[in-house]
Amino acid sequence: MKRTKGSGQSMKVQTANTVGASISFPPDIYESLEELGKQKKVSLAWVVRDAAERYVADETEEGGQRKRRT
């Protein structure tokens, strides 16, 4: 495991194919994420990664260009 400093103040932990980050949520969002994880029988981290992947896919096109909103 390798620790690297990113552009912010938090430390990122990098492994072979992932980079870690510490994030905070308002209590109600955290509870909702936990509940979704329990329903799907996956970790809270999995729920957050899945949501982030979907958000990035929705916000970008091929070539990394941002979609225009109408």
Taking only the tens place, the pLDDT of each residue in 36-63 is 999 999 999 999 999 999 999 999 865 5
pLDDT of residue 19: 87
pLDDT of residue 54: 94
Is 9 among the domain residues? no
pTM of the model: 0.63
Q: Which domain holds residue 68?
A: 24-70
Total domains in the fold of the chain: 1
Is 39 among the domain residues? yes
Is 15 among the domain residues? no
pLDDT of residue 15: 62
Is 1 among the domain residues? no
pLDDT of residue 1: 45
- C-alpha angle 63/67/68, rounded to 5°? 140
CA distance 13 to 28: 27
Is 40 among the domain residues? yes
CA distance 24 to 8: 15
What's the number of CA atoms in the CB half-sphere (13 Å) around residue 47?
A: 16
